[in-house]
Amino acid sequence: MARERTALAWRRSALNMAASGTLIARAAFTADLVVLGIASALSMGAMALLTWNHGRTIYRRRSSTSGFPHHQPGALGLLTGATLLIAAVALAVTIAV
């Protein structure tokens, strides 16, 4: 059940990322930053998909592979980097709006 809760947490994070990307894209289009809007929508959609897929993958691997390392510093670091990128783009769009 702990694995299930963790997988669900990854999925919630993916949904949050998708929602934030939608907001950023909308704000960019409102500010007439069409290229930034399209780029942010595509990139954040891809990040959300990767996050979703990662949650699914580690759920399967944690249940089937006894030697699988449970802590995921690389994935968590990437997620933190993605969040920082979202913050940087949001800041740029906020100032431009």
Is the CB of residue 7 less than 8 Å from the CB of residue 58?
A: yes
Residues that bind other proteins (rule: CB under 8 A) add up to a total of 39
Interface of this chain with other proteins, residues 28 to 57, rule: CB under 8 A: 30
> Could you tell me which residues come within 8 angstroms of residue 64 by beta carbon, excluding any fewer than 6 positions away?
none
The continuous run of DSSP H or E covering 81 comes out as helix 73-96
Residue 12 lies near other proteins (rule: CB under 8 A): yes
Tokens of 93: 């769009």
Please give the residue ranges that form the binding site for other proteins (CB under 8 A). 2-3, 5-6, 9-10, 12-13, 16-17, 19-20, 23-24, 26-27, 30, 62, 69-74, 76-77, 79-80, 83-84, 86-88, 90-91, 93-95, 97
